[in-house]
Amino acid sequence: MDEKRTVKTSKMLSRILRHDPGRVGLSLGEGGWVPVDTLLAALGGRGNRLTRAELDHVVETNNKKRFAYSSDGLRIRASQGHSVVVDLGLAAAEPPAVLFHGTADRSLPAILAEGLRPMSRQDVHLSAEVATALNVGGRHGRPVVLRVDAAGLAAAGHEFRVSDNGVWLTSAVPPGYLSRHDAV
């Protein structure tokens, strides 16, 4: 599978498994899981033929580890980032003292005034590494990295969870827990 097709397939799977499973006649099961055979059949029925080996390649090579197989390998789901309601069953976790969020510079005034909100997703996405946040922010324009006082948020009662691919999730981050991380 060439790189262009891998990226195209990854984007299609993200759209289906995170945002619009009905697009191919699917519904997400508990925890956001879909049987692999059902997914492949649904894709094939819509003219997007994909083999299990090709799906394995996309899952294994996705640099953001957006997808995960169940322990038996029979089901697949998106690791996080859903705009449809899904309970991933992630347990509350103690975050590191500081987390980071990448955004575009044009969004900074609103974020510093209102805090971070999930927008069209279920959760705010945070990372443990500046480099990851910088990469995320760069997808939307000139990147800015925000430092999140995760320890302070946790002490104030905010719950954190961490997805299978290491993305930290929380419901919101009030502006008082944010500062600009200028070492970019």
Question: For the chain, what are the domain ranges?
Answer: 3-78, 98-181
The class level of CATH for 98-181 reads alpha beta
pLDDT at 72: 97
- Beta-strand (E) ranges in the chain? 34-35, 67-69, 75-78, 98-104, 124-126, 143-149, 161-162, 168-170, 178-181
- Collect the ranges in the chain with pLDDT lower than 70: 183-184
Return the structure tokens found at 161.
Answer: 């969870």
CATH topology of domain 3-78: Arc Repressor Mutant, subunit A (1.10.10)
**Long-range pairs, 114-121, Cβ under 8 A, ≥24:** 114/175, 115/172, 115/173, 115/174, 115/175, 115/176, 115/177, 115/178, 116/146, 116/148, 116/172, 116/173, 116/178, 117/172, 118/171, 118/172, 120/83, 121/81, 121/82, 121/83
Asked whether the whole model's pTM tops 0.85, one would answer: no
CA dihedral 71, 76, 82, 86 (to 10 degrees): -60
**Mind listing the pLDDT tens digit for each residue in 80-100?**
888 898 899 999 999 999 999
**Mind listing the pLDDT tens digit for each residue in 43-53?**
999 999 999 99
Q: What value, to the nearest 5°, has the Cα angle with vertex 138 and ends 151 and 7?
A: 110
